Amino acid sequence: MAKLRCTLLLALLPATAMAAPVFTLESPDFADNGVLAAKFAGNAKQNPGCTGENISPALRWSHAPAGTKSFALLIVDPVGGKGLGVTHMVAYNISAEKTAYAQGELSESKNYTGGKNTPGTDSYFGPCPPAGSGLHHYNFVLIATDLAPTALTPGLSHAELLDKLKGHNLGAASTVARYGNE
Q: What pLDDT sits at residue 14?
A: 57
Kindly report whether the global pTM for this prediction surpasses the value 0.85. yes
Q: What pLDDT sits at residue 3?
A: 53
| Dist. CA 152–CA 161, nearest whole Å | 9
pLDDT in tens, 65-82: 999 999 999 999 999 999
> In this structure, what CATH number is given to the domain that contains residue 103?
3.90.280.10
Q: Specify if 118 maps to a domain.
A: yes
Q: Specify if 106 maps to a domain.
A: yes
Q: Specify if 160 maps to a domain.
A: yes
Alpha helices in the chain (DSSP H): 2-12, 15-18, 158-165
pLDDT in tens, 78-112: 999 999 999 999 999 999 999 999 999 999 988 99
Helices and strands counted in the chain (H then E)? 3, 9
| Dist. CA 82–CA 63, nearest whole Å | 36
